[in-house]
Structure 1
Amino acid sequence: MPTYHYRCKNCKYDFTEQQSFTDDPITICPECGEEQVRKVYSAPPIEFKGSGFYRTDKSK
């Protein structure tokens, strides 16, 4: 299951939740109870290992 990062706009509380793709996004803050929670989007972590990822590498 994917992990999503959320932040409350009201109290600035940050938290993460594991949710299924079909689950509705969380909208109520567990800290202050306000309906001000939004997903925080960021770049996914990516790591290239091995050869074949550079312009100077030859294709086989």
Structure 2
Amino acid sequence: MPIYEFLCEACGNVTEQMQKVTDPPPAKCPECGSKRMAKLVSRSAFQLKGGGWYKDLYASSAGADAKKKKPD
């Protein structure tokens, strides 16, 4: 399940909550109790590490040429 951030429009508190995409925002702010909570659009924590398409030239024609020139 993804983690979403919610902003209390009354006090400005930002809260993280793990929930489904279809779940409604939290009913109230844990700090002030206000019912005005808005879902924030934030950066994803998804990262690709290690060798990738462009590092290994997998997706480019230069990679195919390099593999052909490589002796077995």
Instruction: Please tell me the TM-score bracket, short chain as reference.
Output: 0.5 to 0.7
Root-mean-square deviation over aligned CA pairs: 2.4
* Cα pair distance change 1:12/1:50, threshold 3 Å: same
Q: Tell me which stretches of 4 or more aligned residues in structure 1 moved more than 6 Å.
A: none
Determine if contact 1:27/1:38 at 8 Å carries over to the other structure.
no
Residue 17 (structure 2) aligns with = 17
Residue 44 (structure 1) aligns with = 44
Residue 53 (structure 1) aligns with = 54
Task: Supply the AA of the counterpart residue of 2:37.
Answer: V
Q: How many residues align?
A: 59
In the aligned structure 2, how far is the partner of 1:51 from the partner of 1:18? Answer: 29
Higher relative contact order (CA 8 A, sep 6+): 1
- Identity fraction in percent: 31
* Cα pair distance change 1:30/1:43, threshold 3 Å: same
Structure (1/2) with the larger helix percentage: 2
